[in-house]
Amino acid sequence: MATLKTRDLVKRFGHVQVIHGLDLDISDGEFVALVGPSGCGKSTLLRMIAGLEDVSGGQMWIGEGRVEHLPPQKRDVAMVFQSYALFPHMTVRENIAYGPKVRGEAGDKVEESAELLNLTPYLDRYPRELSGGQRQRVAMGRALQREPRLFLFDEPLSNLDAQLRVAMRAEIKALHARLKNTVVYVTHDQVEAMTMADRIVVMRDGRIEQEGAPLAIYDRPNNVFVAGFIGSPAMSFLNGRIEAGRLTLGGLSIPVDTREGAVIVGVRPEGFTMAGGDTGLEVEVQVIEPMGPETHVLANIVDRTLAARSGGETASDIRAVLRERVNLGTGDRQRLSVDPAALHLFDPESGMRLAD
Protein backbone atom coordinates (compact mmCIF):
# COMPACT_ATOMS: atom_id res chain seq x y z
CA MET A 1 0.00 0.00 0.00
CA ALA A 2 1.09 3.59 -0.56
CA THR A 3 0.09 7.20 -0.81
CA LEU A 4 -0.30 9.03 -4.14
CA LYS A 5 0.51 12.70 -4.68
CA THR A 6 0.54 14.86 -7.80
CA ARG A 7 1.60 18.47 -8.09
CA ASP A 8 0.84 20.75 -11.05
CA LEU A 9 0.27 17.67 -13.25
CA VAL A 10 -0.17 18.48 -16.94
CA LYS A 11 -1.00 16.39 -19.99
CA ARG A 12 -0.96 17.60 -23.59
CA PHE A 13 -1.79 15.82 -26.81
CA GLY A 14 0.02 17.99 -29.34
CA HIS A 15 -1.24 21.53 -28.82
CA VAL A 16 -4.34 20.38 -26.88
CA GLN A 17 -4.01 20.43 -23.09
CA VAL A 18 -6.34 17.94 -21.39
CA ILE A 19 -5.04 17.96 -17.78
CA HIS A 20 -4.46 21.42 -16.31
CA GLY A 21 -2.04 21.67 -13.37
CA LEU A 22 -3.78 19.06 -11.25
CA ASP A 23 -2.97 18.61 -7.54
CA LEU A 24 -4.19 15.40 -5.90
CA ASP A 25 -3.42 13.73 -2.56
CA ILE A 26 -4.55 10.17 -1.77
CA SER A 27 -3.86 8.63 1.63
CA ASP A 28 -2.58 5.13 2.32
CA GLY A 29 -5.48 2.67 2.18
CA GLU A 30 -7.97 5.21 0.80
CA PHE A 31 -10.56 4.37 -1.87
CA VAL A 32 -10.84 7.40 -4.18
CA ALA A 33 -13.24 7.60 -7.13
CA LEU A 34 -12.57 9.91 -10.08
CA VAL A 35 -15.89 10.88 -11.63
CA GLY A 36 -17.01 13.21 -14.36
CA PRO A 37 -18.61 13.29 -17.81
CA SER A 38 -16.96 11.77 -20.87
CA GLY A 39 -13.90 13.75 -21.91
CA CYS A 40 -13.23 15.24 -18.47
CA GLY A 41 -9.77 13.62 -18.25
CA LYS A 42 -10.37 11.00 -15.57
CA SER A 43 -9.17 7.99 -17.60
CA THR A 44 -6.22 9.99 -18.94
CA LEU A 45 -5.23 10.83 -15.36
CA LEU A 46 -5.47 7.16 -14.38
CA ARG A 47 -3.28 6.14 -17.32
CA MET A 48 -0.74 8.80 -16.31
CA ILE A 49 -0.65 7.31 -12.81
CA ALA A 50 -0.14 3.84 -14.31
CA GLY A 51 2.61 5.09 -16.65
CA LEU A 52 0.64 4.28 -19.80
CA GLU A 53 0.54 7.97 -20.75
CA ASP A 54 3.57 10.28 -20.58
CA VAL A 55 3.41 13.22 -18.19
CA SER A 56 3.76 16.55 -20.02
CA GLY A 57 4.55 18.49 -16.87
CA GLY A 58 4.44 18.40 -13.07
CA GLN A 59 5.43 15.81 -10.49
CA MET A 60 3.99 12.54 -9.18
CA TRP A 61 4.87 10.47 -6.12
CA ILE A 62 3.79 6.94 -5.20
CA GLY A 63 4.84 6.48 -1.61
CA GLU A 64 8.03 8.43 -1.08
CA GLY A 65 9.39 8.04 -4.61
CA ARG A 66 8.99 10.26 -7.69
CA VAL A 67 7.53 8.15 -10.48
CA GLU A 68 6.50 10.39 -13.40
CA HIS A 69 9.68 9.39 -15.27
CA LEU A 70 9.38 5.64 -14.53
CA PRO A 71 7.94 3.00 -16.91
CA PRO A 72 4.79 1.16 -15.77
CA GLN A 73 6.61 -1.95 -14.55
CA LYS A 74 8.70 0.13 -12.17
CA ARG A 75 5.76 1.82 -10.45
CA ASP A 76 4.41 -1.24 -8.61
CA VAL A 77 0.78 -0.66 -9.57
CA ALA A 78 -1.90 -3.02 -10.86
CA MET A 79 -4.68 -2.00 -13.23
CA VAL A 80 -8.09 -3.53 -13.94
CA PHE A 81 -9.47 -2.41 -17.30
CA GLN A 82 -12.98 -1.95 -18.65
CA SER A 83 -12.33 -4.88 -21.00
CA TYR A 84 -11.35 -7.96 -19.04
CA ALA A 85 -8.26 -8.61 -21.20
CA LEU A 86 -8.21 -12.35 -20.42
CA PHE A 87 -6.39 -14.91 -22.54
CA PRO A 88 -9.22 -16.97 -24.13
CA HIS A 89 -7.05 -20.10 -24.55
CA MET A 90 -6.05 -20.16 -20.87
CA THR A 91 -8.07 -21.38 -17.90
CA VAL A 92 -8.94 -19.14 -14.98
CA ARG A 93 -6.02 -20.60 -13.05
CA GLU A 94 -3.59 -19.92 -15.91
CA ASN A 95 -4.88 -16.37 -16.41
CA ILE A 96 -4.44 -15.49 -12.75
CA ALA A 97 -0.99 -17.07 -12.59
CA TYR A 98 0.26 -15.59 -15.86
CA GLY A 99 1.87 -12.45 -14.41
CA PRO A 100 3.98 -14.14 -11.72
CA LYS A 101 4.95 -16.85 -14.20
CA VAL A 102 6.24 -14.32 -16.76
CA ARG A 103 8.08 -12.39 -14.05
CA GLY A 104 9.66 -15.61 -12.78
CA GLU A 105 8.33 -15.14 -9.27
CA ALA A 106 8.40 -18.05 -6.87
CA GLY A 107 5.29 -19.32 -5.10
CA ASP A 108 1.70 -19.78 -6.19
CA LYS A 109 -0.97 -17.51 -4.72
CA VAL A 110 -3.69 -18.49 -7.19
CA GLU A 111 -5.67 -20.53 -4.67
CA GLU A 112 -5.57 -17.71 -2.13
CA SER A 113 -6.81 -15.12 -4.65
CA ALA A 114 -9.47 -17.49 -6.00
CA GLU A 115 -10.85 -18.09 -2.52
CA LEU A 116 -10.88 -14.37 -1.80
CA LEU A 117 -12.86 -13.68 -5.00
CA ASN A 118 -15.12 -16.78 -4.86
CA LEU A 119 -13.49 -18.23 -7.97
CA THR A 120 -12.34 -21.59 -6.60
CA PRO A 121 -15.06 -23.64 -8.41
CA TYR A 122 -14.12 -22.01 -11.73
CA LEU A 123 -10.33 -22.37 -11.76
CA ASP A 124 -10.35 -24.96 -14.54
CA ARG A 125 -12.87 -23.18 -16.75
CA TYR A 126 -12.09 -20.98 -19.75
CA PRO A 127 -13.22 -17.32 -19.97
CA ARG A 128 -15.92 -18.18 -22.51
CA GLU A 129 -17.53 -20.40 -19.86
CA LEU A 130 -17.86 -17.55 -17.33
CA SER A 131 -20.36 -14.75 -16.78
CA GLY A 132 -19.31 -11.11 -17.13
CA GLY A 133 -19.04 -10.70 -13.38
CA GLN A 134 -16.88 -13.83 -13.05
CA ARG A 135 -14.56 -12.63 -15.82
CA GLN A 136 -14.14 -9.29 -14.05
CA ARG A 137 -13.27 -11.14 -10.83
CA VAL A 138 -10.62 -13.09 -12.75
CA ALA A 139 -9.13 -9.80 -13.94
CA MET A 140 -9.10 -8.59 -10.32
CA GLY A 141 -7.48 -11.85 -9.21
CA ARG A 142 -4.73 -11.36 -11.76
CA ALA A 143 -4.13 -7.85 -10.39
CA LEU A 144 -3.96 -9.20 -6.83
CA GLN A 145 -1.03 -11.44 -7.75
CA ARG A 146 1.29 -8.44 -7.82
CA GLU A 147 0.43 -7.32 -4.28
CA PRO A 148 0.87 -3.78 -5.66
CA ARG A 149 1.14 -0.58 -3.72
CA LEU A 150 -1.69 0.94 -5.76
CA PHE A 151 -4.77 -0.56 -7.41
CA LEU A 152 -6.18 1.26 -10.45
CA PHE A 153 -9.66 0.52 -11.82
CA ASP A 154 -10.75 1.98 -15.17
CA GLU A 155 -14.57 1.71 -15.39
CA PRO A 156 -14.45 -2.03 -14.62
CA LEU A 157 -18.23 -2.48 -14.33
CA SER A 158 -19.45 -0.63 -17.41
CA ASN A 159 -19.72 -3.82 -19.51
CA LEU A 160 -21.94 -5.57 -16.96
CA ASP A 161 -25.72 -5.58 -16.75
CA ALA A 162 -27.47 -3.64 -13.97
CA GLN A 163 -27.87 -6.57 -11.56
CA LEU A 164 -24.24 -7.65 -11.93
CA ARG A 165 -23.02 -4.08 -11.43
CA VAL A 166 -24.81 -3.91 -8.09
CA ALA A 167 -23.31 -7.25 -7.02
CA MET A 168 -19.79 -6.32 -8.15
CA ARG A 169 -19.98 -2.95 -6.38
CA ALA A 170 -20.55 -4.79 -3.13
CA GLU A 171 -17.76 -7.28 -3.87
CA ILE A 172 -15.17 -4.61 -4.69
CA LYS A 173 -16.09 -2.60 -1.59
CA ALA A 174 -15.89 -5.72 0.61
CA LEU A 175 -12.53 -6.64 -0.94
CA HIS A 176 -11.15 -3.19 -0.17
CA ALA A 177 -12.39 -3.44 3.42
CA ARG A 178 -10.50 -6.73 3.83
CA LEU A 179 -7.26 -5.81 2.06
CA LYS A 180 -7.08 -2.10 3.07
CA ASN A 181 -5.28 -1.31 -0.20
CA THR A 182 -5.05 2.10 -1.87
CA VAL A 183 -7.51 2.30 -4.76
CA VAL A 184 -8.04 4.85 -7.53
CA TYR A 185 -11.31 4.05 -9.28
CA VAL A 186 -12.48 5.77 -12.47
CA THR A 187 -16.17 5.79 -13.33
CA HIS A 188 -18.72 7.93 -15.15
CA ASP A 189 -21.43 6.42 -12.93
CA GLN A 190 -21.77 8.66 -9.90
CA VAL A 191 -23.87 5.98 -8.14
CA GLU A 192 -20.79 3.73 -8.13
CA ALA A 193 -18.72 6.56 -6.74
CA MET A 194 -21.27 7.44 -4.04
CA THR A 195 -21.69 3.86 -2.83
CA MET A 196 -18.08 2.64 -2.97
CA ALA A 197 -15.60 5.46 -2.37
CA ASP A 198 -14.18 7.01 0.78
CA ARG A 199 -13.68 10.19 -1.23
CA ILE A 200 -14.92 11.45 -4.59
CA VAL A 201 -12.98 13.69 -6.96
CA VAL A 202 -15.34 15.38 -9.45
CA MET A 203 -13.58 16.42 -12.67
CA ARG A 204 -14.52 18.60 -15.64
CA ASP A 205 -12.35 19.64 -18.59
CA GLY A 206 -9.16 18.33 -16.99
CA ARG A 207 -9.64 20.15 -13.68
CA ILE A 208 -10.92 19.17 -10.25
CA GLU A 209 -14.26 20.84 -9.53
CA GLN A 210 -14.68 19.44 -6.01
CA GLU A 211 -13.38 16.64 -3.82
CA GLY A 212 -14.60 15.24 -0.53
CA ALA A 213 -16.62 12.52 1.17
CA PRO A 214 -19.59 11.38 -0.95
CA LEU A 215 -22.28 12.75 1.37
CA ALA A 216 -20.36 16.00 1.91
CA ILE A 217 -20.40 16.64 -1.84
CA TYR A 218 -24.04 15.58 -2.10
CA ASP A 219 -25.08 17.89 0.75
CA ARG A 220 -22.93 20.90 -0.18
CA PRO A 221 -21.95 20.96 -3.87
CA ASN A 222 -19.56 23.80 -4.74
CA ASN A 223 -21.26 24.79 -7.97
CA VAL A 224 -24.11 24.09 -10.37
CA PHE A 225 -22.06 21.53 -12.34
CA VAL A 226 -21.27 19.37 -9.29
CA ALA A 227 -24.83 19.76 -7.98
CA GLY A 228 -26.28 18.52 -11.25
CA PHE A 229 -23.78 15.71 -11.73
CA ILE A 230 -23.81 14.16 -8.26
CA GLY A 231 -27.11 12.62 -7.28
CA SER A 232 -29.52 10.25 -9.01
CA PRO A 233 -32.11 11.37 -9.94
CA ALA A 234 -30.42 14.68 -10.65
CA MET A 235 -31.04 17.97 -8.86
CA SER A 236 -33.67 20.32 -10.32
CA PHE A 237 -32.73 23.96 -10.98
CA LEU A 238 -35.11 26.94 -10.84
CA ASN A 239 -34.81 30.70 -11.14
CA GLY A 240 -35.46 32.54 -7.89
CA ARG A 241 -35.02 35.98 -6.36
CA ILE A 242 -34.04 37.07 -2.85
CA GLU A 243 -35.41 40.31 -1.44
CA ALA A 244 -35.59 41.47 2.20
CA GLY A 245 -34.20 38.14 3.40
CA ARG A 246 -36.80 36.00 1.65
CA LEU A 247 -36.52 33.78 -1.40
CA THR A 248 -39.41 34.16 -3.82
CA LEU A 249 -39.98 31.02 -5.87
CA GLY A 250 -43.30 31.10 -7.69
CA GLY A 251 -45.96 30.92 -4.98
CA LEU A 252 -43.38 30.16 -2.28
CA SER A 253 -41.71 32.66 0.03
CA ILE A 254 -38.89 31.15 2.08
CA PRO A 255 -36.63 32.93 4.63
CA VAL A 256 -32.92 32.70 3.70
CA ASP A 257 -29.70 34.21 5.02
CA THR A 258 -27.59 35.25 2.04
CA ARG A 259 -27.13 38.15 -0.39
CA GLU A 260 -30.07 39.62 -2.28
CA GLY A 261 -30.78 39.45 -5.99
CA ALA A 262 -31.29 36.77 -8.63
CA VAL A 263 -30.26 33.20 -7.75
CA ILE A 264 -30.31 29.71 -9.18
CA VAL A 265 -32.19 27.45 -6.77
CA GLY A 266 -31.25 23.78 -6.67
CA VAL A 267 -33.60 21.22 -5.13
CA ARG A 268 -32.87 17.52 -4.68
CA PRO A 269 -35.72 15.20 -5.81
CA GLU A 270 -36.51 14.23 -2.22
CA GLY A 271 -36.93 17.93 -1.33
CA PHE A 272 -40.34 18.13 -3.06
CA THR A 273 -43.66 17.17 -1.48
CA MET A 274 -47.28 17.39 -2.62
CA ALA A 275 -48.94 20.70 -1.73
CA GLY A 276 -52.61 21.52 -1.31
CA GLY A 277 -54.60 24.61 -2.19
CA ASP A 278 -52.99 27.49 -4.04
CA THR A 279 -49.58 27.32 -2.35
CA GLY A 280 -46.40 25.89 -3.82
CA LEU A 281 -45.01 25.54 -7.33
CA GLU A 282 -47.54 24.76 -10.03
CA VAL A 283 -46.23 22.06 -12.38
CA GLU A 284 -47.57 20.10 -15.32
CA VAL A 285 -46.85 16.38 -15.09
CA GLN A 286 -44.90 14.88 -17.99
CA VAL A 287 -44.15 11.35 -16.79
CA ILE A 288 -45.03 9.24 -13.75
CA GLU A 289 -42.63 6.45 -12.77
CA PRO A 290 -44.07 4.22 -10.02
CA MET A 291 -41.13 2.53 -8.27
CA GLY A 292 -43.02 0.70 -5.51
CA PRO A 293 -41.85 2.37 -2.27
CA GLU A 294 -41.69 5.77 -4.02
CA THR A 295 -42.99 7.57 -7.08
CA HIS A 296 -40.84 9.61 -9.49
CA VAL A 297 -42.65 12.57 -11.03
CA LEU A 298 -41.16 14.38 -14.04
CA ALA A 299 -42.82 17.72 -14.55
CA ASN A 300 -42.45 21.17 -16.10
CA ILE A 301 -42.99 24.45 -14.31
CA VAL A 302 -46.14 26.22 -15.50
CA ASP A 303 -44.53 29.65 -14.94
CA ARG A 304 -41.77 29.41 -17.57
CA THR A 305 -39.83 32.32 -16.05
CA LEU A 306 -38.85 29.95 -13.21
CA ALA A 307 -37.35 27.28 -15.49
CA ALA A 308 -33.55 27.11 -15.41
CA ARG A 309 -32.39 24.34 -17.73
CA SER A 310 -28.96 23.02 -16.76
CA GLY A 311 -28.27 20.20 -19.21
CA GLY A 312 -29.51 17.55 -16.77
CA GLU A 313 -30.51 13.98 -17.43
CA THR A 314 -34.07 14.74 -18.65
CA ALA A 315 -35.91 17.42 -20.63
CA SER A 316 -38.21 18.11 -17.65
CA ASP A 317 -37.70 21.06 -15.30
CA ILE A 318 -38.34 19.04 -12.15
CA ARG A 319 -37.85 15.48 -11.02
CA ALA A 320 -39.54 14.84 -7.70
CA VAL A 321 -39.24 11.65 -5.65
CA LEU A 322 -42.40 11.30 -3.55
CA ARG A 323 -42.54 8.80 -0.68
CA GLU A 324 -46.12 8.00 -1.53
CA ARG A 325 -48.26 6.65 -4.34
CA VAL A 326 -50.01 9.40 -6.27
CA ASN A 327 -52.96 9.44 -8.63
CA LEU A 328 -51.51 11.65 -11.36
CA GLY A 329 -51.24 11.33 -15.11
CA THR A 330 -49.56 13.07 -18.03
CA GLY A 331 -50.87 16.61 -18.44
CA ASP A 332 -52.25 16.89 -14.90
CA ARG A 333 -51.41 20.02 -12.95
CA GLN A 334 -50.21 19.77 -9.36
CA ARG A 335 -48.62 22.04 -6.79
CA LEU A 336 -45.41 21.03 -5.04
CA SER A 337 -43.92 22.34 -1.81
CA VAL A 338 -40.17 22.62 -1.25
CA ASP A 339 -38.40 21.74 2.00
CA PRO A 340 -36.39 24.87 2.96
CA ALA A 341 -33.62 22.64 4.32
CA ALA A 342 -33.27 21.06 0.85
CA LEU A 343 -32.50 24.34 -0.96
CA HIS A 344 -29.13 24.99 -2.62
CA LEU A 345 -28.50 28.55 -3.80
CA PHE A 346 -26.07 29.41 -6.60
CA ASP A 347 -24.93 32.59 -8.31
CA PRO A 348 -26.51 32.73 -11.80
CA GLU A 349 -23.39 34.32 -13.35
CA SER A 350 -20.56 32.18 -11.92
CA GLY A 351 -22.57 29.09 -11.02
CA MET A 352 -20.83 29.00 -7.63
CA ARG A 353 -22.58 28.17 -4.36
CA LEU A 354 -23.67 31.15 -2.30
CA ALA A 355 -22.48 31.42 1.31
CA ASP A 356 -25.04 30.31 3.87
**Model pLDDT for residues 198-224, shown as the tens digit of each residue:** 999 999 999 999 999 999 999 999 999
Cα→Cα distances 47→39, 41, 112, 185, 312, Å: 14, 10, 28, 12, 29
The CATH number of domain 227-346, selected from 3.90.1150.10, 3.30.360.10, 2.40.50.140, 3.40.50.620: 2.40.50.140
pLDDT tens profile 64-91: 999 999 999 899 898 888 888 899 999 9
Contacts of 215 (CB under 8 A, 6+ apart): none
Instruction: Give ranges for CATH 2.40.50.140 in the chain.
Output: 227-346
Intra-chain end-to-end CA distance of the chain, in Å? 39
Q: Residue 1: pLDDT band by 50, 70, 90 thresholds?
A: low
Instruction: Give ranges for CATH 3.40.50.300 in the chain.
Output: 4-224
Q: Mean pLDDT: which of 40-44, 105-109, 164-168 is highest?
A: 40-44
Q: Residue 311: pLDDT band by 50, 70, 90 thresholds?
A: very low
% of the chain exceeding 90 in pLDDT: 58
The DSSP result for 121-145, as a single string, is GGTTS-GGGS-HHHHHHHHHHHHHT
Query: What value does the mean pLDDT of the chain take?
Result: 90
Q: Mean pLDDT: which of 172-176, 245-249, 265-269 is highest?
A: 265-269
Rounded-to-integer distance, Cα 163 and Cα 167, Å: 6
Residue 206 has a pLDDT of 96
Beta bridge partners of 183: 31, 151
Domain 4-224 CATH superfamily: P-loop containing nucleotide triphosphate hydrolases (3.40.50.300)
* 3-class DSSP assignment, residue 280: coil
Q: Residue 107: pLDDT band by 50, 70, 90 thresholds?
A: low
Q: Residue 307: pLDDT band by 50, 70, 90 thresholds?
A: confident
pLDDT tens profile 122-158: 999 999 999 888 888 898 888 888 778 899 999 888 8
Residue 313 has a pLDDT of 52
% of the chain exceeding 70 in pLDDT: 97
* 3-class DSSP assignment, residue 328: coil
